Amino acid sequence: MLEVSNLNVKYGQIHALRDVSLSVQPGRIVAVIGANGAGKSTLMMTLAGLLAPASGKITYDGKPLPAKAYDVLGEGICLVPERRRLYANLTVRENLLMGAFLRNDKDGVQADLEKMYTLFPILRERLKQYAGTLSGGEQQMVAIARGLMSRPKLLLLDEPSLGLAPLLVESVFRTVREIKAQGTTILLAEQNAFQALEMADDAFVLETGRVLLTGTGSDLIADPLVRKAYLGIKG
Amino acid sequence: MLEYVSGIITFSLIYVIATVGLAVFTGFTGLFSLGHAAFFAIGAYTAGILTYFYDVNFWAALAAGVAVSSLVGVLIGYPTLRAKLRSDYFAIATLGFGEAVRVLLENLDITQGARGLPGIASETTLPIVIVFTVLVLWVARNFVHSRYGRAAIAVREDFVAAEMMGINLFQVRMRSLVFSAGCAGLAGGLFAHYVSFIQPGMFTAALSTQLTASVVAGGMGSITGPTVAAVLFVAVPEALRMASMWRLVAYGFLLVAIMVFRPQGLFGFREISWQSCVRCFRKKPAAAGGGAGQ
């Protein structure tokens, strides 16, 4: 579905991604784990078209990825950004409708709104509330729902667990599984390595801009290097 | 006396036309312009030169003023918006643009430099201005409530997120800028044919500031708010004319007071509409004390 080969991304002099190659198969949850500054967000932003790669190739469904962010969404890739980036002064409902900005099928959008309320029951009570007044967990749900409103084929989730209480992290991850069950492929960037790996079909470990390890989620959980460096388990 | 009052109303409405245009740009995309006097001047000079030197029909000249200032809007917008200049840098760029246009007007032969154009045909009347004001308000309202308006609001709130929603930043900002440049051009054309004398000194940064101040004071994200503010900023200095120089001090204090006590502007992002007026009157007997709803 998505093929990345020898991707290099730079911020001026800083080389954030070095020769990153990875592939995402349809219908799977793919996790990218790594510490702060490993390049997870850079990778996600590049895939969403917000950053231009210095070199390397990204192909999506056999075609090169469009260069502009607004065209990337049209192809069915949607990024749920780090720190959520909601429209704080718009209501929850308006936020969700913004997610469907490119769609013209009114009935479909309405149906999808209903779907979101089933997926996130709490949102139904919050519809008229300004998004900025919600709690962190609720905001994350709005962010994910807003992303889903564009009916993406590939959903990029950048640190959905950031700043959430462990219980909420659980519930967000449960939703991610549900989204996958409904047929959306997911690329997930996480610091929360253990839970991400547990859930992931495939996974990559990113370290200072390089892909360190590749494997299935369960492989990587068992990997001694990962256990030591990211899960904090010795021996 | 009647003539004096109708003159003030005409002036106010001419400013309303320019301010509403700017409200669509600054209030809805969040970019500040400190050079809108330039678009005003371009509209005034284009229309003025056409009727003064070439005996062109007033309406055609007015349309030409709108066209030329919209076109200049595209020209200035292309490099600045394409480069995604951040809010403050964009403001500086427009400030430079405003000054450049003024200096150009002072030095070109066709504009007669600092002498200006005396004796432009007096064509603008109060009814004409009222019709144009209503028209501009109607177009602005439809723009804001359209898909493009929502896209513009998304851009103002968080342009990175907006881009991820599939919104073409450049296109949205460009559209608003061209609309606002066109409105300023229209206001300029009407202005030139009302006062029948224009000179570059009328279109300084002070005018740009007044327009932007009206938008901010009226409320970013509102159309009716800046409309009221624009009228206020023309009418208050007139009403205080007997206080001579002190009126400008009062004007300054008014601005400071608005920013201190209502930083979101007089109206915030609310609008005056029929529904809100009706609701206001209905609520009062119930001691709920209405207020302008959305």
The pTM of the full predicted model, rounded to 2 decimals, is: 0.84
Q: Tell me, what's the pLDDT at B294?
A: 38
Q: Tell me, what's the pLDDT at B258?
A: 84
Q: Tell me, what's the pLDDT at B289?
A: 39
* SS (HEC) of chain B: CHHHHHHHHHHHHHHHHHHHHHHHHHHHHCCCCCCHHHHHHHHHHHHHHHHHHHCCCHHHHHHHHHHHHHHHHHHHHHHHHHCCCCHHHHHHHHHHHHHHHHHHHHHCCCCCHHHCEECCCCCCCHHHHHHHHHHHHHHHHHHHCCHHHHHHHHHHHCHHHHHHCCCCHHHHHHHHHHHHHHHHHHHHHHHHHHHCEECHHHCCHHHHHHHHHHHHHHCCCCCHHHHHHHHHHHHHHHHCHHHCCHHHHHHHHHHHHHHHHCCCCCCCCCCCCHHHHHHHHHHHHHCCCCCCCC
Work out the pLDDT band at B288, boundaries 50, 70, 90. Answer: very low
**Cα–Cα distance between B293 and B272 in angstroms, integer?**
8
Nearest to A74 among B153, B157, B166 (CB): B166
* B37, pLDDT greater than 90: yes
Q: What is the domain extent for residue B274?
A: 2-293
**Cα–Cα distance between A216 and B230 in angstroms, integer?**
64
Residues A116-166 have pLDDT tens digits of 999 999 899 999 999 999 999 999 999 999 999 999 999 999 999 988 888
Residues B171-187 have pLDDT tens digits of 999 999 999 999 999 99
Q: What percent of chain B has pLDDT over 70?
A: 95
**Cα–Cα distance between A163 and A141 in angstroms, integer?**
13
Q: How far is A146 from chain B (nearest CA, A)?
A: 9
**Cα–Cα distance between A67 and A51 in angstroms, integer?**
9
Q: What residue in A sits closest to B156 (Cα-Cα)?
A: A87
- A-B CB pairs within 8 A amount to 57
Q: What residue in B sits closest to A96 (Cα-Cα)?
A: B165
* B248, pLDDT greater than 70: yes
Contact A131, A178 (CB under 8 A): no
A52 and chain B in contact, CB less than 8 A: no
Contact B181, B24 (CB under 8 A): no
Averaged pLDDT, B75-96: 89
**Cα–Cα distance between A184 and A12 in angstroms, integer?**
35
CB contact under 8 Å between B269 and A89, yes or no, is: yes
**Cα–Cα distance between A219 and B16 in angstroms, integer?**
67
Q: Tell me, what's the pLDDT at B276?
A: 75
Q: What is the mean pLDDT of chain B?
A: 89
CATH number (domain holding residue B102): 1.10.3470
Q: What percent of chain B has pLDDT over 90?
A: 61
Q: Tell me, what's the pLDDT at A235?
A: 55
Residues A4-62 have pLDDT tens digits of 999 999 999 999 999 999 999 999 999 999 988 899 999 999 999 999 999 999 999 99
Q: Tell me, what's the pLDDT at B255?
A: 82
For residues B47-57, one letter each, b for 16 or more C-beta atoms within 10 angstroms of the residue's C-beta and e for the rest, the string is bbbbbbeeebe
Q: Which residue has the higher pLDDT, B87 or A196?
A: A196
Nearest to A69 among B147, B151, B163 (CB): B163
Task: Tally Cβ neighbours within 10 Å of residue B110.
Answer: 10
Residues A95-110 have pLDDT tens digits of 999 999 999 999 999 9
Q: How far is B26 from chain A (nearest CA, A)?
A: 17
Structure tokens at B102: 């003024």
Averaged pLDDT, B58-65: 96
A98, A154, A158, best to mutate vs chain B, most B CBs in 10 Å: A98
Count of residues in chain B: 294
**Total domain count, chain B:** 1
Q: Tell me, what's the pLDDT at B88?
A: 85
Task: Tally Cβ neighbours within 10 Å of residue A13.
Answer: 5
**Cα–Cα distance between B73 and B78 in angstroms, integer?**
8
Q: Tell me, what's the pLDDT at A142?
A: 95
Q: Tell me, what's the pLDDT at B284?
A: 53
Averaged pLDDT, B234-250: 79
Residues A183-226 have pLDDT tens digits of 999 999 998 888 999 999 999 999 999 999 999 999 999 998 88
Residues B182-213 have pLDDT tens digits of 999 999 999 999 999 999 999 999 899 999 99
Q: Which residues pair with A199 in a beta bridge?
A: none
Nearest to A87 among B147, B157, B269 (CB): B157
Q: Tell me, what's the pLDDT at A234?
A: 65
